[in-house]
Structure 1
Amino acid sequence: MELAKNLPAVAPVVQIVAETEADIAAREMLLDRAMGPGRRRKSSEKLRRGRRPSEGLAFAARNGSGALVGTVRLWDVALGEGGAPALLLGPLAVDPALKHAGIGSALMQHALAEARRLGHRAVLLVGDAPYYGRFGFSAEKTGRLSMPGPYEPQRFLALELVEGALDDAAGTLKATGRRMKPAKLPHAA
């Protein structure tokens, strides 16, 4: 997906593509720069730890030279014990030097369009309501849901991709995504 429209004239042209294994190191460095050292202690991280992103829902934004300048991933969760499936979005991050260039918005629009195309029914996240509200997220349907660990309830937001998907949702989100393969350990000689 090429981006040039609706960005400020000084904004770089970026391409949004599927994330690859080759992006791991650059993504981790970008997340450290954009989110700081406390990023691994967030309650959302508890749902991501040891899991792989939802199939087909991990994206990288690359600048004209191919460098990673943005990232977003969505994760499979259940809406409470034995509850309906949904997605947890995050982290969404953009290189701090390119903040306000429209890259985060483009990543969000792309990720949500793909989630809809793949048949997902709802997306949840913990984030700033003024930013995510423009994509349709609100706390309106998260009142009976919770995150594992500490979080600010007013920042727990949801978007129904299918109307009514969250009507009966209640309980604590549970990770349901594919587990990461264990790293191979070297054999002792």
Structure 2
Amino acid sequence: MTALRKTTVALLPDAAPLAIRSERASDVAAREALLDACFGDNRHMRACQRLRDGRAPAEGLSLSAVSKGRLVGTLRLWHVSAGGIPALMLGPLAVEACSRQLGVGAALMDHALAAAKARGHRAVVLLGDAPYYARFGFSAAKTSELSLPGAFDRDRLLGLELCDGALDGACGMIVPTGERSPKTKAVRARKAKSLLLPRVA
């Protein structure tokens, strides 16, 4: 029996259907183009990117927003240790410019947080604009003693407890704990194999 894939569908104000679903391999090129458009060429240099480099996103928590067969938004979550406390790092959240006033970002956030809680995750942290993310329950109340690799704006380091007290005592560096991505594993294996091969002059 084939398992049914749950997809959230909402109607945008202009009546175009919006589906929030798990990211597919066919979404990757469009996702990367969207991230480039939203965050610019230097997005790979940002502090939170250090937590994602070479890692796979948390299982079931890579989401795409699709309207009329086109990717209009993306959001992923990643396993981290928040000063020794297991948590998820949310981001990047990106929505194409012409869809930003249609509730796409909020739909992605609501779906992602509900899915994270359903999977038993206890806390989420992110680096973002406090006025925007406050509507979802994020605040800096329990992140003041946490740090990120590289320079960052402390007022933008926010947390959300999916279970009461999950971020109590959070202190120290936020570090990645997720699985290495398959691509990274393959590169490492090739490098290791090359070291074992005899060199030819």
Question: What is the TM-score when the length of structure 1 is the normalising length?
Answer: 0.91
Distance across 1 between alignment mates of 2:103 and 2:43: 22
The alignment status of 1:77 with 2:84, answered yes or no, reads no
Between the two proteins, the alignment pairs up a number of residues equal to 179
| Deviation digits for residues 86-130 of structure 1 (CA, Å, limit 9, x no counterpart) | 000000000112111100000000000000000000000000000
Q: How does 1:172-187 map to 2 (within 5 A)?
A: 172-182=173-183
The one-letter code sitting in structure 2 at the alignment partner of 1:67 is R
Instruction: Provide the C-alpha distance between the structure 1 equivalents of 2:15 and 2:167, rounded to a whole number of angstroms.
Output: 37
What is the RMSD of the two structures over their aligned residues, measured on CA atoms? 1.3
Aligned match for 1:27, one of 7, 26, 31: 31
Q: Which residue of 2 aligns with 1:54?
A: 58
Identity of aligned residues (%): 51
Paired residue secondary structure (1:15): strand
From 1, 4, 10, the equivalent of 1:3 is 10
1:84 is displaced (CA, Å) by: 2.0
Kindly report which structure 2 residues correspond to 1:124-163, keeping only aligned pairs within 5 A, or say none: 124-163=125-164
CA drift at 1:169: 1.0
Aligned amino acid, residue 3 of structure 1:
A
Partner SS for 1:134: helix
What's the TM-score, normalizing by structure 2? Answer: 0.86
Measured after TM superposition, the shift of residue 11 of structure 1 is: 6.0
2:58 is aligned with what amino acid? S
Q: Which has the higher contact order (CA 8 A, sep 6+)?
A: 1
Unmatched 5+ stretches in structure 2: 1-7, 191-201
**2:102 corresponds to 1:68:** no
Counterpart of 2:135, as a letter, is: R
Distance across 2 between alignment mates of 1:73 and 1:11: 26
CA distance in 2, matches of 1:133, 1:52: 27
Q: Which runs of 5+ in 1 are unaligned?
A: none
Aligned with 1:165: secondary structure? coil
Deviations 1:17-56 (A, max 9, x none): 0001221111000111112222111100000000010011
State the distance in 2 between where 1:12 and 1:167 align: 42
2:48 is paired with a residue whose SS is helix
- Over alpha carbons, which structure has the higher Rg? 2
Alpha-carbon separation, structure 2, partners of 1:60 and 1:12: 16
Task: Name the stretch that deviates more: 174-183 or 22-31.
Answer: 174-183
Provide Cα deviations, 1:51-72, integer angstroms capped at 9, x if missing partner: 01001100000012x1111000
**In 1, distance between residues paired with 2:161 and 2:147?**
16
